Structure 1
Amino acid sequence: MQGLIADIDLLEEEQKQAESCDFKTTEDDNIVTKRKLYIESYGCQMNFSDSEIVTSILKDEGFGTTSSPEHADVILINTCSIRDKAEQTVRKRLEFFNAVKKKNRNVTVGVLGCMAERLKSQLLEEEKIVDLVLGPDAYRDLPKLVKQAENGEKGINTFLSKEETYADISPVRLNSNGVSALISIMRGCDNMCSFCVVPFTRGRERSRDPHSIVKEAQDLFDKGYREVSLLGQNVDSYKWSPEENNKARLDKKNDSKEIVNFANLMEMVAKVSPDLRVRFSTSHPKDITDEVLHTIKKYKNICNYIHLPAQSGNSRILELMNRTYDRHWYINRVDAIRSILGTECGISSDMIAGFCSETEEEHQDTLTLMDYVKFDFSYMYFYSERPGTLAAKKFEDDVPLEVKKRRLQEIIDKQQEVSLERNQLDIGKEFEVLIEGKSKRSNEKMQGRNSANKVVIFEADLPKGSLATVKIIDCTPATLFGELV
C-alpha cells in the first residue's frame, strides 16, 4: 500500500485503508451451479497471498467465487493480529456475517490467519456464528473442515508446521490487475521482536524451494503479468537447500547440495525475463547484505526500492523492542543503500510511536532519524500492546494514549515533510513507469509506478502492463504527476 498510513483520528481515510479489507473476492463466472466462496483479507500482503492459496484449494473442490457474502456458501475472513484495532475490525465484520447467517442457515463462516492462530478455540466459543477456525499452516485441511461444518460439526486446526510452504499450490489471483502479482517465498519468522505476535501466529521460519518460485514467476510472465513481489516476513534471511528442506523435490538441479540465499533467489527470478519487474518485502536491517544491494544494481528489472522498517530511531528503545540492531547499524545500512544504489533508490519504513517507557528525547531520536534517511513514505502507528508478546510480559505499557497520539502526529507531519522533499527532487526527471491501469480519478489519465515504488499519474491512453517514459512535472507528498515523453 503506497502512502502515509497511520492509526490516528486525524487521518481517518488512511486509517480505513490500513485497517479495512483490501482484498475481497470478485465474481469469477456466471455458472450458478457452483458453490460460491466469499473471502476477505486484512493486514499484510502475506495474508493477501494466503487468500489466493485458500481460493485455489477450494477451487479444486468445485468452489467459484462471489463478490457478495449474501450469495456465498462459504464465507472466510483472513485475519490480522498485529494490533488490537485490526482484531476489533474483524469482530465487527463477524457481526455482519452473523446477520447473513441468520438469513441463510446453510452458509459456513470461517476465521483464518493470525487471529485464528492467536485465539484458537476461543473464537468458536465467543463468536457463535464461527463454524471453523484455521491457522496459517492448516489451509490444506479446509475442504475437510468445510464438509464437517456443513454437517453441523464445528472444526479447528491451528497446528503450526515447520515445513509447510504451499509450494505446490498455484494461487488463484484475486482482484488482480493482471499486471502485478504476489509470490510467497517463505513463511514464519524467527525474529522475536518484543512487540510482535507474528512468531506466535505464523510459526518458525522456513524457505520455499527456489525452483518452484521461479516456475511460478515464469508462469505469471507467460500469462501477461509484468511485475512480481517476493514476500516474506524477513526476505533477507531466505535460505534454502535440499538438506534443510527434507520435503523438497530432489532432482538433478538441486541434487548438488546447492544453497540458495536471497541474493541468489532474486537473480534467478530476474533472469526469467528482463521485461519482468521484481520487487520484494520485507527486509530486516540486521540481515540485509551488500550482496543483495549489488544484485539489485546488477539487474535493471529488480526495482530500486527497499522497505526497511526502523520502528524507532533510538538505540535503547530498539533494544527493548529486541530488534537486534541499534541506530548506528541502521544508518550504516542506509548509507550502504545510498552508496551502492544511488540517492534515487526508494526507501520506506515502519515507525511505532510511544513504545514502553519511551521518553520525549527518545521520540526526538526517531524524528532526527527520519531527517537523516529521508524516507519516501512510511507506515506509522502508535504502540498497541498485544497479549502474549514479550513486551506484554516484560514491560509496562506506560505511555499515555494522548501522548502516543501526539507523538504519532509529529511523526506523520515529519514524514509528510520529507516525502514532499523527496518527491520534489524528481521534478524534471524521466522515469520508466509500469502502467497498472486508469487513474482512479480520471479515465483520461493512467496510473503506474516507477522503480522506486512511487505512484505516477500522467495523461495517456496505453494498455495495462506496458512501460512508458514519463517526465515528472509536479508532485504531492504521495504522488508524482508527469507527462508522456
Structure 2
Amino acid sequence: MLDLIHSTKTHDEDRQGEALSLPSTVKVSNGRKLYIESYGCQMNFSDSEIVASILLDKGFETTKDYKEADVVFINTCSIRENAEQRVRNRLKEFESAKAKNPGMIVGVLGCMAERLKSKFLEEEKLVDVVVGPDAYRDLPNLIEKVDDGSKAVNVLLSREETYADINPVRLNTNGISAFISIMRGCDNMCSFCVVPFTRGRERSRDTHSIVREARELYNAGYKEVTLLGQNVDSYKYTPNVPEGEEPLSTVNFAQLLALVAEVSPDLRVRFSTSHPKDITDEVLYTMGRYENICNYIHLPVQSGNSRVLELMNRTYDREWYKDRVDAIRRIIPECGISTDVITGFCTETEEEHQETLSMMEYVKYDFAYMFAYSERPGTLAAKRYEDDIPEEIKKRRLTEVVNLQREHSLFRLQHFVGKVHKVLIEGFSKRSDKDYCGRNDQNTMVVFPVDERYKVGDYVHVLGQSCTSATLIGKIVD
C-alpha cells in the first residue's frame, strides 16, 4: 500500500513533514518499495503526487521507512543554500542505508537536479538517477537503466509538459484538502531566483482538465483545493483548434477561478502565488463575487525600496505595489495578505532597509516568510552583483523584520477576536486531541475544542475568543 511522502519545510508555502496514507490501488505489484521525501514549496509536494502516480501505475508500493525501500527519491528545492545542504546531508544518510542494501536505487528529483547533476552523480557519487521536474514520465525507463548497471539522467526542460492527463495520487491523510497544479515554469527573471532555470518557461494547463480535476476531488469528498503555480495570475490557456477553424477564446486566471468556484459552493478555493505585476482588479472582483474563494492573497514584496526592486528585476516599484495593496483593501476589505521579504540584497543601504520596514507598516501583513539574502549560483544576481552586505548586517536586518512582523501578525489576529469565522475542520490540534484545528477565510489557523457533533471535513462557525501571534483560539457557535 502506498503510504508515505515526507515533506520538510524550507521555503514559502511549505508543508511540515507528515505521514500520509494513500489508496491501496496498485494495479499489479512489482514487489518493489518506494520512498519519496519532498523539500520546499507546494509545487514540489504536488510534483511528488505526480511521481507517486506514475510509479503506482508501474506496480511500486511505498514505505514509511527508507531503510527498507528499493527505490529512494528526494524531491529537492534550490531556493536557499541551507535547503541544498539539508538534501546533501540526507543523501549521505541514504548512502549508509544503501551500503547495507546494495540493490537500493537513490535518486534526486526536481529543482536541484539540473544544476547539481554532475556533483551528485560523478563527484560525490551520492545518487544513481537524476530527474528534472519535466521528466517524471521517464522515471520507469530511468529506473530500468539503473537496474542494468548504468547511471541515469533526464533533466530536459519542456515547453509543453503540464502532466494534465495524470491523476495525482492524493497524499493527504484527512482527504479534505488537495493541490491542483494549473501551470508550470516561470517567465519572470527575478535576479535572485533559480526557478526559471530549474523549471523552465511558463506553460498553462488545459482549463477543462483543471475543472475536471476539481470536480472529481469534490465528488470524492474533498472540501478545499489550492490552485498552484509559480505565478498563478499569468495563467493563460488558449485551446488548440484545427487549422482553418475559428480560434477559441483564451481563458485567464480570473475566468479559471470562477470556473473552479462554480464546481460547488461547498468547495473552498485557494491559490498561490500571485506576482504584484500581474494581479488584476478582475481577479479581485472575481474573488469578491464567490463566497467560496478564500479572501487570502500571498503577494511577495521582497523589498520596499524601488531601487532594490529594480536590481531584483521585480518589474514593479514601491508605488505600484502599494497600489495593488490599496486595490485589495478596497475591493476585498477583509482579505488576508501575506508576503515574502529578503533582507540584505546586494548593495541594500540602511535607508533602503528602512523602506522595507515602512512598507510592512503600510500593509501590516497577516504573516510573512522572511529570509536573509542567499546568493544562488547561476542566477542573474550572482552574475551581475557582488553579494556585499556582511552576514551580521543581513541577520540584524532580518531580526528587525521578523520582530515587526510578529507585531503585525498579533495585530491582525486581535482584529479577529470577537468575530465569528467559518472554519473547515482539517484535523486535531498538534498539542491536544481535545482540540480541532482549521483555517478561516484569511488562512489563519484556528484552534477550538472538539464538539462531537462535528467531524474532520465539516464546516463550522467559530467565535474567536483570544489569540497568540500565530493562532486564533475560539469555540464553535451555532
The answer to whether the Cα contact below 8 Å between 2:78 and 2:112 also exists between their aligned partners in 1 is: yes
1:242 positional shift: 1.9
2:128–2:151 contact (8 Å) kept in structure 1: yes
1:60 aligns with 2:57: yes
RMSD over aligned CA atoms reads: 2.0
Aligned to 1:22: 17
Preserved CA contact (<8 Å) 1:98 1:129 = yes
Are the aligned partners of 1:25 and 1:40 in contact in 2 as well (CA < 8 Å)?
no
Displacement, 1:176?
Answer: 3.5
How far, CA to CA, are the matches of 1:286 and 1:16 in structure 2? 22
Q: Secondary structure at the match of 2:355?
A: helix
Q: How far apart are 1:71 and its partner, in Å?
A: 1.5
1:419 aligns with 2:409: yes
Unaligned runs of 5+ in 1: 1-12, 244-249
Question: In the alignment, which residue of structure 2 is the partner of 1:399?
Answer: 389
Which residue is 2:80 aligned to?
Answer: 83
Q: Using the alignment, how far apart are the partners of 1:26 and 1:91 within structure 2? A: 27
Deviations 1:32-89, CA, capped at 9 Å, x for gaps: 9732110000011100000000000000100111111012111000000011111000
Q: CA deviation at 1:368?
A: 0.6
Amino acid at match of 1:374: K
Structure 1 residue runs of 4 or more that deviate by more than 6 Å after TM superposition? 13-21, 30-33
Q: Equivalent residue for 1:475?
A: 467
Q: Which structure exhibits the higher relative contact order, with contacts defined as CA atoms closer than 8 Å and separated by 6 or more residues? A: 1
User: 1: distance between equivalents of 2:227 and 2:23?
Assistant: 26
Q: Is the 8 A contact 1:28 1:64 kept in 2?
A: no
Partner of 2:38: 41
CA distance in 2, matches of 1:138, 1:306: 31
Corresponding residue of 2:102: 105
- Judge conservation of contact 2:11–2:40 (CA < 8 Å) in 1: no
Quote the residue 1:376 is aligned against. Answer: 366
Match of 2:163, SS state, is coil
Residue 280, structure 1, aligned to residue 271, structure 2: yes
* Structure 2 Cα separation of the partners of residues 35 and 338 of structure 1: 53
Matched, 1:294 2:289: no
SS at 2:54 equivalent: helix
Change (3 A) 1:413 1:380: same
Hey, what's the Cα distance between the residues in 1 that align with 2:30 and 2:21?
A: 17
In structure 2, the partner of 1:173 is 170
CA contact (8 A) 2:191 2:381 kept: yes
Deviations 1:333-371 (A, max 9, x none): 0000000000x2100000001000001110011111001
Offset, 1:122: 2.9
State the TM-score, normalizing by the size of structure 2: 0.94
Structure 2: gaps of 5 or more residues: 1-7
Residue 450 (structure 2) aligns with: 460
State the match for 2:68 in structure 1.
Answer: 71
Contact 1:24 1:39 in 2 (8 A): no
Q: Which amino acid in structure 2 is aligned with residue 22 of structure 1?
A: G
Cα deviation 1:213-247 (Å, max 9, x = unaligned) = 0111011111111000000000000000024xxxx
User: Percentage identity across aligned positions?
Assistant: 64
Give the drift of 1:30. Answer: 12
* Alpha-carbon separation, structure 2, partners of 1:175 and 1:100: 27
Q: C-alpha separation between the residues in 1 aligned to 2:25 and 2:161? A: 34
SS in structure 1 at match of 2:45: helix
Q: Number of residue pairs matched?
A: 464
Aligned with residue 203 of structure 2, among 191, 206, 212: 206
Q: How far off its partner does 1:165 sit?
A: 0.2
Counterpart residue number, 1:246: none
Equivalents in 2 of 1:325, 1:134: separation in Å?
Answer: 34
Give the letter for the 2:274 counterpart.
S
Q: Which amino acid aligns with 1:239?
A: K
What is the CA–CA distance in structure 1 between the aligned matches of 2:261 and 2:15, rounded to whole Å? 33
Aligned to 1:446, the other structure's residue is in SS state strand
SS in 2 for 1:425: helix
Deviation at 1:24, TM superposition (A): 6.1
What secondary structure sits across from 2:398 in the alignment? helix
Query: Would you say the 8 A contact 2:428–2:436 is kept in 1?
Result: yes
- Say yes or no: does 1:318 pair with 2:315: no
Q: Which residue identity does 2:403 align to in structure 1? A: D
Change beyond 3 A, Cα 1:24–1:205 = farther
